[in-house]
Structure 1
């Protein structure tokens, strides 16, 4: 009897060890970016781990005790230039798994476990900081030549920022739609529209599914000498009812903070001030003048952002419902370039089932992109940046204030121009003009 009891107890203990401690690898995802790569293992339970690195060739070895190595380590994602492949190796014992990440060059690993957060379960996250980051190739036709080498005035540069990306999916809709995919799709449509417009050129902060920090995004726009930054996002809430688009600009509180931060970095003054830096040195006695110029620059950028934001709201309401009927102010890091007008456009609530469905419709995404493009075009037609082709065209144009009894066809005859040219120069969608309206008369 005693022997039988001991046998049963042993069996129970053995079963408890086997079933309670066994973990499984449910999936593998890899997200490369410009300076690092994130490898994520989806786990059935909280992972235990240890790791070490090897050279010749470079490898990262991860040991997972009490974990099965039966799952296939396959990924549909592009591994990038740093990670060569991910495979199993001989484990310490039969109850463990050993994973080897083969690398094309040295990398600094950072490994940590993450608890379940919707839509993911337990995860083991491996961040690999690249020892030789791959510099992104400059986009063709995006570098603006100086006047001595250019055959015409420069393009208006519009920086388009697709929110989130890579290991940061953004908000996730009820049907599993990732915000990062929606924003990139709209951004690419907007890019195509801008590039098709003579005198305008688009640059993207990201053109694929990889992560860029919010603070780095306005830096990319500054490096490309952008005249405007448009950041595209999709809203979300804990309840499914909220819906509609909105436009956001930088709040004054964040602006003051950012201004102070920029001023502390005295070595950046020359970049921010452009030609003015030649007559302003970074001396304590001249700090006030520097602060004044930067303050004026930010005031101008914020005023421009509000003006453009209102135009985007006007265009968006023709495409989708609005959550906010006027631009809102908030402290988003992506809006903090002191010398570039910047807006953030929330194209809808991805947490709303109907809006998630709309955002998955390519035609709706195209309409959203067109709304942003139309507003941008309207704004720059009115106030084109100095030195641009549009500014040159506007300066050579004459103006006419419409009087009673005048029409487009009559004005076209008077100034010897085509009706279509008049409409294009004034961004008119019909032949109707109103008394008192000031029209730009293009050169013949």
Structure 2
């Protein structure tokens, strides 16, 4: 026995089994935290610009911990990300910012301290940032997402006006919707709105109120005139309601972080359906039905993600008369083929395949990356089944008209409109359908979807189906306050 051990104040420490197990668990816990805090590797970085909002995504092998500070003047978002070393993937962010990004001016990255990378996002306008994390899903690992919403959101009716103004500027001799002379009737009631909007110091339009079933067309104001002998100039006529502009909401599926289905040759569903939607938009904007001009409104016109509930909300804000969601199907077997049209169902899916597809499409928010905590009550309600029997019946009529036209040249997967609980079709007051244009997982149909000629055929068929629906089912009278 040693001299120290023989000392009466010395007591030998002999840990028991429980103490050893606790110490081992603590060591493993600390090691796990060390991996999260200091072992992260950036796998990819992405920037998605859009008028609605701009998104920055950092994808990593483990969750990232970030602290953000919004600075008002000049507007910028500073983010400190723990456990990172500045690498080439992070540096790529600087070059990924596009000059036409409406929200982000530039991104700067730097090693703020040995284990902290600072990310500074310079903004073009005041923004409301949302920073959140997403767990691994589909082909993605952990994602840290920065959504930058403009403080003054883009109004969908304003977007329609600006689009119409751009169309008018391309035809200076006779802008669409504007009459060639004061005495001639307007070709497009939206022209009155555009003329008012073009006046100096014109006030921005008021967002539309929810749709009403019927309304009496307002009596046009009498033209202002000068009093004899008066030198005063006549004041412009007061703003009036524009009556019976038929608005069709087009909803290209997926987008941004969510590519949708991917074909054997690497064709992204989100890209194909956006091209088809733009072709259909051009046809709608040049069309009239029963003397009423038509306008298309797109839930997305670029490569960015839109949550399912927001897609429905956008269509309701512009008081759309129809809602058409455009997709390209995929299945585990490449032999699956044919186009399909779907409406909502109150009583469950009309087939096992319809239920499977609805479940798959309803997962878009998980893949695209939705900050669930940021959803307001109105958007959450869009995901509830608020549809009416009348809406579903009208949707079935619209779907049948579309399916008939598409079936004239394309193979159909099912000869009738199918039904299932698609979240994106749950607008209570808008006939809504989802079109699966073809199976992008089928090599032959993928090749067709890549063909501009076939895309034109699809757009023409959809336009004919929309026109046939309105001929048989004229839209209710409706006034839109602008």
TM-score interval (norm. to shorter): 0.5 to 0.7
CA distance in 1, matches of 2:448, 2:143: 31
Question: Structure 2 vs 1, CA of residues 112 and 223 (structure 1 numbering), >3 Å: closer, same or farther?
Answer: closer
- Return the offset for 1:201: 1.0
Q: 1:207 matched to which residue of 2?
A: 301
1:80 maps onto 2:101 in alignment = yes
Cα offsets for 1:363-410 (capped at 9, x unmatched): 11111111111111122222322449xxxxxxxxxxxxxxxxxxxxxx
User: Which residue of structure 1 lines up, in the alignment, with residue 118 of structure 2?
Assistant: 98
Q: Take 1:195 and 1:186, find their aligned partners in 2: how far apart are those partners?
A: 14
Deviation per residue, 1:325-350 (Å, 9 max, x gap): 11011111222222221111111122
Partner of residue 421, structure 1? none
Alpha carbons of structure 1 residues 67 and 173: separation in structure 2 relative to 1, 3 Å:
farther
- 8 A contact 1:349–1:355 mirrored in 2: yes
Q: Which residue of 2 aligns with 1:331?
A: 421
Which of 256, 259, 275 is residue 185 of structure 1 equivalent to?
Answer: 275
Report the CA distance between 1:47 and its aligned residue.
5.0
1:79/1:85 Cα in 2 relative to 1: closer, same or farther (>3 Å)? farther
| Equivalent residue, structure 2, for 1:350 | 440
**In the TM superposition, what is the alpha-carbon distance from 1:79 to its structure 2 partner?**
6.9
Query: In 2, Cα distance between the equivalents of 1:327 and 1:62?
Result: 51
Q: What is the DSSP-based 3-state SS (H/G/I as helix, E as strand, rest coil) of the residue aligned with 1:339?
A: coil
How far the C-alpha of 1:92 sits from its partner, in A, is: 0.8
**Contact 1:32–1:78 (CA<8 Å) still a contact in 2?**
no
Contact 1:88 1:98 in 2 (8 A): yes
Task: Provide the C-alpha distance between the structure 1 equivalents of 2:97 and 2:396, rounded to a whole number of angstroms.
Answer: 42
Q: Which runs of 5+ in 2 are unaligned?
A: 1-33, 165-187, 193-216, 221-239, 350-377, 379-385
> For residues 78 and 303 of structure 1, do their structure 2 counterparts lie closer, same or farther at Cα, with a shift above 3 Å needed?
farther
Identify the residue that residue 68 of structure 2 maps to in structure 1: 52
Deviates more, 1:371-380 or 1:236-245: 236-245
State the superposition RMSD in angstroms. 3.4
Change in 2 beyond 3 A, CA 1:51/1:239: farther
State the distance in 1 between where 2:476 and 2:65 align.
Answer: 58
Distance 1:381 1:177, change over 3 A: same
Aligned to 2:313: 219
Q: 1:158 to 1:54 in 2, by over 3 A?
A: closer
What residue number does 1:148 align with?
219
Q: State the shift of 1:251 in Å.
A: 0.2
Shift of 1:90: 3.4
| Structure 1 unmatched runs, 5+ | 1-16, 256-267, 269-294, 389-444
Please show how residues 129-168 of structure 1 align to structure 2 within 5 Å. 129-136=149-156, 137-140=158-161, 146-149=217-220, 154-168=244-258
CA distance in 2, matches of 1:124, 1:216: 21
Distance, in Å, in 2 between the alignment partners of 1:195 and 1:54 is 41
Structure 1 residue 252, shift from structure 2 partner: 1.7
How does the TM-score come out when normalised to structure 1?
0.64
Cα distance, 1:195–1:127 mapped onto 2, change above 3 Å: closer
Q: For the Cα contact (< 8 Å) 1:163–1:180, is it kept in 2? A: yes
CA distance in 1, matches of 2:305, 2:53: 9
> CA 1:129–1:318 in structure 2 vs 1: closer, same or farther (change >3 Å)?
same
Is the 1:248–1:345 Cα contact (8 Å) retained in structure 2?
yes
- Paired residues, number: 328
- The answer on whether the counterparts of 1:115 and 1:121 sit within 8 Å (CA) in structure 2 is yes
Is the CA contact 1:38–1:167 (under 8 Å) kept in the aligned structure 2? no
Residue of 213, 229, 247 corresponding to 2:341: 247
**Match for residue 320 of structure 1 among 410, 413, 417:** 410
With the length of structure 2 as denominator, give the TM-score of the two structures.
Answer: 0.60
> Do the aligned partners of 1:183 and 1:234 also contact (CA within 8 Å) in 2?
yes
Q: Distance in 2 between matches of 1:339 and 1:96?
A: 51
Whole-Å Cα distance in 2 between the matches of residues 153 and 98 of structure 1?
Answer: 53
Please state how far the C-alpha of 1:197 moved relative to its aligned partner.
1.8
Compared with structure 1, are the counterparts of its residues 72 and 230 closer, same or farther at alpha carbon in structure 2 (3 Å cutoff)? closer
Find the residue that maps to 1:322 and give its secondary structure: coil
Q: C-alpha separation between the residues in 2 aligned to 1:152 and 1:33? A: 29
1:110 aligns with 2:126: no
1:74-110 CA distances to partner (integer Å, 9 max, x unpaired)? Answer: 21656733322212123312x6643322334353342
Tell me, yes or no, if structure 1 residue 39 matches structure 2 residue 60. Answer: no
